[in-house]
Amino acid sequence: MHIPSGASQTVEILDFETALALSGRGDAYDRERWLYVPDFYTEYRYILGTRGENPLICIGVNPSTAEPDHLDNTLKSVQRIAAGNGFDSFIMFNVYAQRATRPDDMDRTMNAELHAANMAAFRYVLSHVGAGVRPAVWAAWGAVIEKRPYLPACVRDMVAVGMDYGARWLRAGRCSVKGHPHHPLYLKKDEPVCDFDVLAYLDSLKIGG
């Protein structure tokens, strides 16, 4: 089980462009199939997914231990729901890029350097969707978004980036009483995705403005 070695501010962080440039040099996994940045196990992860023209881009709170060919139950559910809704691939992305099996172990304060790199990664994902395809962004963070006060503000930054690419925000399953979009676990494999008004949701939280 991954436990952060400490606050991410104490760890050397590769910016996204550097991490992307360094990827693709080994043979640990099928690089024709997988997109994985950084492409080695470290304290943070920007992108994990499969390559395609029409991906379902799932947004969780923070990454855990999953790697190519070694998906956890959350990623297996994401993969099933993407396929069940007609997408040719999936990408697992996160509001905050620090790996922590337990969200309670995430940074107490936001690492601005890590967040900036994560937003650069998000732009990359959105810009590499196939021509003529509107990016499909699945909000799937559940109530875990309440774990840190900086997380809703990170989502607002993602929404702003998404507007540049015409991103369509989606949810799967019912929202919680507080309006949080359902986490991928415990959804049926054929659960349909539908539109999600992410700005109205953020406004309802009254934090992260």
pLDDT of residue 206: 66
User: Do the Cβ atoms of 173 and 164 come closer than 8 Å?
Assistant: no
pLDDT per residue as tens digits for the range 83-109 = 999 999 999 999 999 999 999 999 999
Q: What is the pTM of this model?
A: 0.95
Q: Within a 10 A sphere around the Cβ of 171, how many other Cβ atoms?
A: 20
Residue 209 has pLDDT above 80, yes or no: no
Residue 208 has pLDDT above 60, yes or no: no
Residue 6 has pLDDT above 70, yes or no: yes
Euclidean distance between CA atoms 161 and 150, whole angstroms: 17
Q: Which residues contact 27 (CB under 8 A, 6 or more apart)?
A: none
pLDDT per residue as tens digits for the range 9-51 = 999 999 999 999 998 777 889 999 999 999 999 999 999 999 9
Chain-wide mean pLDDT for the chain?
A: 94
pLDDT of residue 161: 98
The stretch 95-124 carries a mean pLDDT of 97
CA 27 vs CA 24, 47, 69, 127, 203: distances in Å: 8, 18, 13, 26, 45
Residue 2 has pLDDT above 90, yes or no: no
User: Do the Cβ atoms of 17 and 120 come closer than 8 Å?
Assistant: yes
CA 199 vs CA 53, 105, 195: distances in Å: 27, 27, 12
Closest CA relative to residue 68, chosen from 103, 98, 40: 40
The stretch 96-125 carries a mean pLDDT of 97
The DSSP call for residue 147 is G
pLDDT of residue 3: 87
User: Do the Cβ atoms of 96 and 116 come closer than 8 Å?
Assistant: no
